[in-house]
A and B are shown apart, each in its own frame.
Chain A
């Protein structure tokens, strides 16, 4: 069934103001049916207010074999975290 119903990745926005989050994948013939299937498979329990679907083949992924050169160099650069600012008391919780 792979040819007729390719794989789609599903993203759901749980509430207004939040970002769409990846929730899983499904097989469907085209956009309309993929949205329909996403609604039936992933929003049965009020999980969301908006759905995105995108063909899995349209996603370019980083190579797991290059994880060390991609991500490890950030490990000892603590100054990249915005934790050295004094936050005025008036700002409250941030």
Chain B
């Protein structure tokens, strides 16, 4: 079950972050970014689908990817707390995306060599998408951090707000066919360091990290998101279209 659990953690990360990004649809400050964020959301939800489908197969109890996404409660969700954070302003959204992509890109890169063909297949598609998310979010962080007085202050505020959450990315159930998450940390730190230097952002002093997401202990914002996301399946069980 180590594989099932690890797949669910990753799938939940992707679905929750994808849903968060989809909340920008129709609300982004410009059409170009509205499309970019919707593209990102679709990339993430697409990967989540592949991961759920494989998790359901590994579990072998006849559940579908939809069952896993729409019929599990908040405490059964194993995503890290970072991805459920509210969108906030563009600085918060881009930093959250950047932290996640800076983890997932090297993770999928390592997963390309997995002995599990399904995982290597998912990695092959996702690694390209994550490389782009990483670059796009990084470009925004540089421009906001090294931009106007207002944008720099907001960018630094986002760094402080999300500081308790990034470390949880490296925790979670590992298994022999998925890369060791803790081993991704040097690559993650190198990405963050490079962008922060260019963006003139300060890395805050260490704080007590928030975690618990991998054990299903979430902040209150996830419940609200799930009540939105799961409404249709809860109100009309088994509905299809």
Contacts and interface: CB of A to CB of B under 8 A. Distances in A.
Q: A and B: real partners?
A: yes
Interface stretch (B31-39, B59-67, B117-125, B186-194): B31-39
A26 interface: yes
Interface residues of B, number: 14
Contacts of A1: 29-30
Contacts of A37: 32-33, 35-36
Contacts of B135: 36
A36 B136 contact: yes
Nearest to A32: B139
Given A40-B35, A40-B36, A33 B30 contact: no
> What's the dominant secondary structure at chain B's contact region?
helix
A26 B33 CA distance: 11
A63 B32 CA distance: 30
B143 interface: yes
Contacts of B132: 39
Interface of B: 29-33, 35-36, 39, 132, 135-136, 139-140, 143
8 contacts: A1-B29, A26-B32, A29-B143, A33-B139, A37-B36, A40-B32, A41-B35, A41-B36
